[in-house]
A and B are shown apart, each in its own frame.
Chain A
Amino acid sequence: MTIKASSVPQQVIPLAIIFAAGITGLLVIRHFLVPDTFGEHGHYRADAVDEIAALPVSYAGYQACVDCHDDIFTAKQSSFHKGLSCETCHGPAGQHVEDQDKFKPAKPHGREFCILCHGYNVSRPSGFPQILPNMHNPGKACVGCHDPHKPTTPRPPGDCSACHAGIANQKAVSHHTDLQCNTCHEVPKDHITQPRLSRAEKPTSRDICGKCHGKDATGGIEEAPRIDMASHGGRYMCWDCHYPHDPEATK
């Protein structure tokens, strides 16, 4: 079948040329500008992986530090900072390993560095040591009191809220505000100085709640909701449904 030239409207021709030129132009540009290895592994340039792998390595790894500084490493491994690598605080030490005299790794002396992890932030886990930089010995260097290779608090915290602020805040505005922590938790004496080695116990039996909330309980205040411990909740523990630090149920 042949198409007569006159049967194609005149206005279609320049448009067809423009669109054809545009599409061809895009394909040509694509041919020259899209890197050859694009899309080999995914939606990126595969060569980039090799290029990044070929970059000089700045970090030496903790093993290289241990070879010379084993005394510090041993002290650190028995402390709360055992999970931190040396270069987390001292920076990349690749050059130091190459030439110990020419390049010395950094020693963070100021307050700003420690605050990156130990500044107060509500999203940090309860019990993680946190300070308010403006209120905690302002102006003094952290290393003046704390040894970063074996960090312990110079004096034990006064009460539970020092470390468990989130829970303390919640409890403070709840029905359980007047309860002491050790009413429900068994807290060994050493927990204050060595919180991870000597853990506070969580209740394991329903009886502890029953002391105040049982039908015939004698403990607790008069307004405390009372239930029949034998029939209420079946085989579930109380805290499967009620959050003890902010219990929702009222009498």
Chain B
Amino acid sequence: MDLHAVTQAAAEMPHVTGYMYPNEAELHWSILIVIYPYLTGLVAGAFILASLERVFNVRVLQPVYRLSLLTALSFLLIAPLPLLAHLGKPERSYEMFLTPHSESAMAMFGFVYAWYLMVVLLLEIWFDYRRNFIEWSKTKKAALTRLMYKVLSLGTTDVSEKALKFDDKVGRIITIIGIPSAFLLHGYVGFIFGSVKANPWWSSVLMPIVFLFSAIVSGIAMVLLIYMVTSMFRVKEISMPCLNRLAELLFYALIVDFSLELLDFIQRLYESEESIHILSDMISSRLFISLIVTQIMLGTLLPIFSIAMARFGRFPDEMKRVTYLFAALLVQLGIFSTRWNVVIGGQLFSKSLRGLTTYKLDVFGLEGILVSGVLLITPFIILAVLSRILPPWMESGHRAST
């Protein structure tokens, strides 16, 4: 075989440059696995934001407390769907609850998920809304609605001061348990990637921590976005102190997140392990747009600077709002790119460290862009329905307003 023939052979796989092992040319984890950590990140971030108000008494965040909880719930309900769609055979997924495999981090996900959904989120929401359920089960006009709230109140009727105090106390305890649980939920996702020791792009003890902080960033930005957009549609005035505090928190979280990622990057550069050359090649070619442009420049640096200017500069409120909205949108783009760069980036280079492949996103099919779009939009639909049943708005009777 002459050189010409070898070049011909390479031309048969135009998406590969350099040398790939045969089983690496096509990616195994698709965009669905990008969506999964993105969704769980939003859950953990939104919950941690809610816990700031509840446990750390950041009163100014009250307008978004319930909204954060419902946001977390809406995204949590959809979070396992990309996994089920990717793995196939969803009808067998319950088996991991029946025969728990304690030595497999992936197999234990069901329990992490169930704990977070049942013991943390649903309980906290129930205790927070219980008084309202009882009230609405008596005051709502339609009989069916009254019955629905009666069912949701689980038959409880006690709204004495002592009972409400108990609700509040339990809610606070659940939140305290919830914070490490939220850390567990998203730290777990980072742990899965970080523990793949054969993959130099993933294998890092910083991975769970970086995942966690990017989760907090995305959660705060998402709640800020939803708060602004819903207030606009409801023609209600946005609480500027709350919005300013959200922007501040987003700013600090962005700085911590960016510093951690930078630390990880500098550490890798300084260690300069044998993988550094192929990783540098990957960053400067395949991941240039999604890492340098959308993740770092558009998704991190631009929001940091724009929030800093709007929050700490002398901007009129209207300008501040526009800037925050713009920054929060960019942050979503940035965090989605972060997930993309971790999941897809980790599969683009050969374990021989000698070549790069390309990921081609399908449009149709289970792992295509259409299904992904549906999975990303559904949480907002769920949130819209939930906010009808459980109005999260401050004026609808928050515990603190009594």
Give the B-binding residues of A (Cβ under 8 A).
Answer: 9-11, 14-15, 18, 22, 26, 29-30, 33-34, 38-39, 43, 120-123, 130-132, 134-135, 159, 161-163, 165, 168-169, 172
Whether the pair B2, A15 counts as a contact (CB closer than 8 A) is: no
Rounded to whole Å, the gap between the CB of B350 and the closest CB of chain A is 10
**Bound-complex Cα distance A121 to B24 (A):** 13
Q: Which residue of A lies closest to B22 (CB)?
A: A123
Nearest chain B CB to A84 CB, angstrom units:
20
> Closest Cβ of chain B: how far from A102's Cβ, in Å?
38
- Contact of A43 with B99 in the complex, beta carbons under 8 Å: yes
A238 to B9, CA, bound (A): 33
Q: Are A10 and B157 interface neighbours, CB within 8 A?
A: yes
What residues of A have a CB within 8 angstroms of the CB of B118 in the complex? Answer: 22
B339 CB–A CB distance under 8 Å: no
| Contact for B166 among A11, A29, A123, CB less than 8 A | A11
- Cβ contact within 8 Å between B163 and A11: yes
How far, in angstroms, from A33 to B126 measured CA to CA in the complex? 32
Return 9 A-B CB contacts under 8 Å, by A number: A11-B127, A11-B154, A14-B156, A30-B98, A34-B99, A132-B1, A132-B5, A135-B8, A165-B2
Select A11's contact among B6, B99, B167, beta carbons within 8 Å. Answer: B167
A11 partner residues in chain B, CB cutoff 8 A: 127, 130, 154, 156, 158, 163, 166-167
CB-CB < 8 A to A9: which residues of B? 158, 163, 166
Which chain A residues lie closer than 8 Å to B1 at the CB level? 120, 130-132, 161-163, 165
- Asked whether B8 lies within 8 Å of A18 as measured between CB atoms, the reply is no
Say which residue of A22, A38, A162, A172 sits within 8 Å of B99 (CB atoms). Answer: A38
Q: Chain B: which residue is nearest A122 at the CB level?
A: B19
- Taking the nearest CB of chain B, how far is it from the CB of A21, in angstroms? 12
Determine which residue in A9, A34, A132, A162 has the highest number of CB atoms from chain B within 10 A of its CB, and name it. A9
Q: How far is the CA of A113 from the CA of B6 in the complex (A)?
A: 21
CB nearest neighbor in A for B104: A43
* Chain B residues proximal to chain A, CB less than 8 Å: 1-3, 5-6, 8-9, 19, 21-22, 97-99, 101, 118, 123, 126-127, 130, 154-158, 163, 166-167
7 closest cross-chain pairs (CB), A and B: A14-B154, A10-B158, A165-B1, A11-B156, A120-B9, A9-B166, A30-B98
Inter-chain contact count A-B, CB under 8 Å? 67
Of chain B, the residue at the smallest CB distance from A30 is B98
Instruction: Evaluate whether A15 and B130 lie within 8 angstroms (CB atoms) in the complex, with A121-B22, A135-B8 already known.
Output: no
B103 to A, closest residue via Cβ: A43
B155 to A14, Cβ gap below 8 A?
yes
Q: Tell me the complex Cα distance, A169–B18, Å.
A: 12
List, in ascending order, chain A residues with CB within 8 A of B163's CB: 9-11
Q: Which residues of A contact B123 (CB under 8 A)?
A: 15
- Contacts A9-B166, A15-B123, A30-B98 known; A135 to B5 CB distance under 8 Å? yes
Cα(A120)–Cα(B156), bound, Å: 73
- Complex Cα gap A52–B9 (Å): 41
Q: Note all chain A residues with C-beta closer than 8 A to B98.
A: 26, 29-30, 33-34
Q: How far is A134 from B11 in the complex, measured between Cα atoms in Å?
A: 12
Residues of A within 8 A of B2 (CB): 159, 161-162, 165
Given the known interface contacts A10-B158, A11-B163, A165-B1, the answer about A123 and B21 at a Cβ–Cβ threshold of 8 Å is yes
CB distance from B374 to the nearest CB of A (A): 30
- Contacts of A120 on B, CB cut-off 8 Å? 1, 5-6, 9
Q: CB-CB < 8 A to B6: which residues of A?
A: 120, 165, 169
CB of B182 to closest CB in A, whole Å: 21
Nearest-neighbour CB distance to chain A for B264, whole angstroms, equals 30
**B3 and A168 within 8 A (CB):** yes
- Least Cβ distance of A195 to chain B in Å? 14
In the complex, what distance in Å separates the CA atom of A197 from the CA atom of B89?
Answer: 52
| Cβ-defined contact, A169 with B5, below 8 A | no
Q: Is the CB of A43 within 8 A of B101?
A: yes
* CB-defined contacts of A169 to chain B, threshold 8 Å: 3, 6
Task: Give the docked Cα–Cα distance between A161 and B397 (Å).
Answer: 81
For the complex with contacts A11-B158, A15-B154, A135-B5, 19 further pairs of A-B residues with Cβ separation under 8 Å are A9-B158, A9-B166, A10-B156, A10-B157, A14-B154, A26-B97, A34-B99, A43-B101, A120-B5, A120-B6, A131-B1, A132-B5, A132-B8, A161-B1, A162-B1, A165-B1, A168-B3, A169-B3, A169-B6
Distance from A71 Cβ to chain B, minimum over Cβ atoms (Å) = 34
Chain A residues whose C-beta falls within 8 Å of the C-beta of B167 in the assembled complex = 11
Closest to A157 in B: B1
The docked-state distance in angstroms from the alpha carbon of A87 to that of B298 is 59
| Min distance, Cβ B111 to any Cβ of chain A, angstroms | 11
CA distance A132 to B8 in the complex (A): 8
Give complex CA distance A59, B389 in Å.
63
Residues of B within 8 A of A26 (CB): 97-98
Which residue on A lies nearest to B5, using beta carbons? A132
Chain A minimum-CB-distance residue to B107: A43
- B154, A18: Cβ atoms under 8 Å? yes
Residue numbers in B under 8 Å from A134 (CB-CB): 8
| Alpha-carbon separation in the docked complex, A159 to B158 (Å) | 93
Q: CA A34 – CA B97 in complex, angstroms?
A: 10
